[in-house]
Amino acid sequence: MGIDVRKEIQDFLSSRRARLTPDQVGMPSFGGGVRRVPGLRRHEVAMLAGVSVDYYTRLERGTLKGVSDSVLDGLAAALRLDDDERTHLWDLARLANAGVKTMHRNVPTRVRPGVQQLLDAITGAPAWVRNERGDVVATNELGRALYSPMFAGPGRPVNTARFTFLDPAALEFYPDWAQTAREAVAVLRAAAVANPCEPGLVTLVGELSTRSEEFRTWWAAHDVRSHRTGRKRIHHPVVGTLDLTYEALDLVADPGLTMFSYGTEPASESERNLALLGTWAATERSERSAAV
């Protein structure tokens, strides 16, 4: 189980190199002529990183064991890595030094009562908690209502990536489906290196790779992201379109769990639709209680 660390390093570094041009990094294009491959050449990255060409070549072939922090810093700067990509590079270096099995940790599948109480106290905004592989482990009432199509699906545990790629309802639910799907892949890619031997994550990636051509294609791009804030557009089957902002908060006392909450622009149509969603959720709750 787990991943091929050398190949992960090789593919990540080569893919980051391929996306850059000499003009983007402010250096002349050495050698001239037509480039046979896209992006920077190895000797150009080596020059930017302050290492020899031979040394950089060894790095890109998957050898990060024993590499100093200063070299990693130089490499990250040369390849113009963003914060998420830098974290990913450091995770790869830790894997190379410590070994895959030593970095395994259990993924939480439920929340403490205090966290659920906090969720339930948030009544005016959808809120939910997921683990690092995207399982939804807790929600408040409005959060469950917002993602009702995902909870209506057959897969358990409820998982954001599985819904996005394998449930046809996701194509209508996410008007910007391709962007949402690529972001889901990037989150899983980062998690797969941060916790490489987690059985549920390995199984999920295998399932999605087998059943979705889009997932396989975007997985091979080696993009990584950790969602902390942003915007999301949803077409809800009951209330229509919702343009939402979201904030993510890591639960410090519960490593591996992240809470998401959503908001809307004041006095917007989305705010009105969200209020309508709250009314619908309350009605559904009342009907369930009456049926018991």
pLDDT tens column, 166-181 = 999 999 999 999 999 9
- Average the pLDDT over 249-257 and give the result: 93
Which pLDDT belongs to residue 33?
57
Q: What confidence tens digit (pLDDT) does each residue in 10-51 have?
A: 999 999 999 998 888 887 655 555 666 678 999 999 999 999
Spatial CA neighbour of 180 closest among 166, 165, 197, 202: 165
**How crowded is the C-beta side of 129, counted as CA atoms within 13 Å?**
26
Percent of all residues in the chain with a pLDDT value above 70, rounded to a whole number: 93
- CA neighbor of 161 nearest in space, from 117, 200, 104: 200
CA distance 69 to 33: 35
Across the range 62-82, mean pLDDT stands at 95
Q: Annotate 11-68 with three-state secondary structure.
A: HHHHHHHHCCCHHHHCCCCCCCCCCCCCCCCHHHHHHHHCCCHHHHHHHHCCCCCCCC
Provide the whole-model pTM: 0.88
- 210 C-beta neighbours (distance < 10 Å), count: 9
Residue 1 in this model has a pLDDT that exceeds 50: no
State mean pLDDT over 238-266.
Answer: 95
Q: Which two tokens stand for residue 197?
A: 């031997």
Domains of the chain (ranges; CATH) run 5-103 (1.10.260.40), 113-291 (3.30.450.180)
Amino acid identity, position 256:
G
Which residues is 232 bridged to in the sheet? 244
Give, in degrees to the nearest 5, the angle at Cα 243 between 241 and 244: 130
